[in-house]
């Protein structure tokens, strides 16, 4: 099982938010170029999604921002999509602001809490990250994914463990890594990180055992 060890921002798999059918995505640029035939906000929105898929994150941010200026489309979708693009640019403060706006609309959206937690982690706001990961675990409404990888709720436990370890809360980190191990399969990263936390508490035997378990799974 792969894992999101770098506390990265990821799009949601919840239908109707960040991932559309491939042929609809491909229509994004064409729609924008022919925007006189459809609502401008829709054209900019789909072009923003298309640009995100193509890795043109700055262009995507500009398109999503234009949608917000026009103020015709359901704004909650745009804040989420712009948050993803801003994260890819390293604008983590902007990412936090956008996911916060989205959560004002849907206060149980797992991926928004998870992604905002990752942005807070990147900025060193570890307690805020812990709070968001906890909310993400509380509301398991949709799975998340990373481009080219398979991801699931284990990452919320691993990332919360990382944030707790960053604050020196090693027992709490161990508890989170253990939870990830219990619900996951072949979770090499959880064993490795639990080993580090156990070592920090002086449990060298437990740390060695975790390294040995991780080695067997690799």
CB distance 95 to 116 below 8 Å: yes
CA–CA separation, 129 and 155 (whole Å): 13
> Which two three-digit tokens encode residue 110?
């797992």
Mean pLDDT of the residues in the chain: 81
Q: Which residue is listed with tokens 């709490």?
A: 172
Question: What is the per-residue pLDDT for 30?
Answer: 54
CA gap 126, 194 in Å, rounded? 18
Q: Which two tokens stand for residue 12?
A: 């949601």
Both tokens of 4, joined, read 């999101």
Using a 10 angstrom Cβ sphere, with 0-12 exposed, 13-18 middle and 19 or more buried, the burial of residue 137 is middle
Q: Is residue 116 helix, strand or coil?
A: helix
Q: Which CATH superfamily is domain 1-131 in?
A: Tetratricopeptide repeat domain (1.25.40.10)
pLDDT at 103 over 90: yes
CA distances from 99 to 118, 191, 193, 196, 209 (A): 11, 31, 28, 32, 39
Average confidence (pLDDT) over 137-164:
66
The pLDDT tens digits for 55-101 are: 999 999 999 998 888 875 567 789 999 999 999 999 999 999 999 99
Count the Cβ atoms, other than its own, within 10 Å of residue 114. Answer: 30
138 Cβ contact list (under 8 Å, min separation 6): none
More confident residue, 7 or 129: 129
Burial class (CB in 10 A: 0-12, 13-18, 19+), 205: exposed
For residue 127, what are its two tokens? 């307690």
- Is the pLDDT score of 39 beyond 70? no
d(CA 201, CA 103): 37
DSSP state letters, 156-174: HHHHHHHHHHHTT-HHHHH
Q: Give the model's pLDDT for residue 96.
A: 97
How do the domains of the chain map onto residue ranges?
A: 1-131
């Amino acid at each position: 099982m792969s894992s999101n060890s770098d506390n990265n921002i990821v799009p949601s798999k919840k239908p109707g938010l960040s991932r559309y059918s491939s042929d609809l995505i491909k229509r994004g640029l064409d729609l924008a170029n022919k925007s006189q035939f459809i609502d401008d906000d829709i054209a900019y929105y789909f072009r923003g999604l298309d640009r995100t898929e193509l890795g043109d994150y700055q262009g995507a941010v500009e398109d999503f921002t234009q949608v917000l200026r026009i103020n015709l489309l359901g704004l909650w979708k745009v804040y989420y999509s712009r948050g993803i693009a801003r994260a890819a640019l390293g604008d983590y403060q902007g990412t936090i602001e956008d996911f916060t706006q989205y959560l004002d609309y849907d206060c149980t959206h797992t991926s928004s809490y998870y992604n905002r937690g990752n942005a807070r982690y990147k900025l060193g706001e570890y307690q805020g990250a812990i709070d968001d990961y906890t909310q993400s675990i509380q509301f398991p409404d949709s799975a998340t994914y990373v481009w080219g990888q398979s991801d699931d709720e284990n990452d919320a436990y691993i990332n919360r463990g990382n944030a707790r370890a960053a604050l020196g809360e090693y027992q709490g980190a161990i508890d989170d890594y253990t939870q990830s191990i219990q619900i996951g399969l072949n979770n090499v990263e959880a064993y490795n990180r639990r080993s580090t936390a156990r070592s920090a508490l002086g449990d060298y035997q437990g740390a060695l055992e975790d390294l040995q378990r991780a080695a067997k799974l690799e």
